[in-house]
Amino acid sequence: QVQLVESGGGLVQAGGSLRLSCAASGRIFSCFDMSWYRQGSGKERDFVARITWNDASKYYTDSVKGRFAISRDNANNTMYLQMNSLKPEDTAIYHCNARCYTRGIVTDYWGQGTQVTVSS
């Protein structure tokens, strides 16, 4: 089992910045990548960014490229999302995801989310 806890959300004006954190615990050694997803009010959960745990390859959805940066601290089992130049359309609950092998099966683990609200 893997447990994920997000933090760092809040209210910010358009153009501002926030840094989200995702602290992971449990069987982290079985995980091969971690991601951020977000879900706006009345919308589906969408992919934002991913980082692989071994070589730190990074992937972003087009709408956040150049504004968001994903990173990880292996020593502390923590993933970050630095969000700059925030826009009102970035308002959502941001969820941390870890993809891991559990009993040989690829399993997705999710945190409860942290609210990000960007005012215009």
* Residue 48 in tokens: 């934002």
* Residue 11 in tokens: 């209210």
Q: What is the pLDDT of residues 44-95, one digit of tens each?
A: 999 999 999 888 899 999 999 999 999 999 889 999 999 999 999 999 999 9
Burial class of residue 94 in the structure, from the number of CB atoms within 10 Å of its CB (0-12 exposed, 13-18 middle, 19+ buried): buried
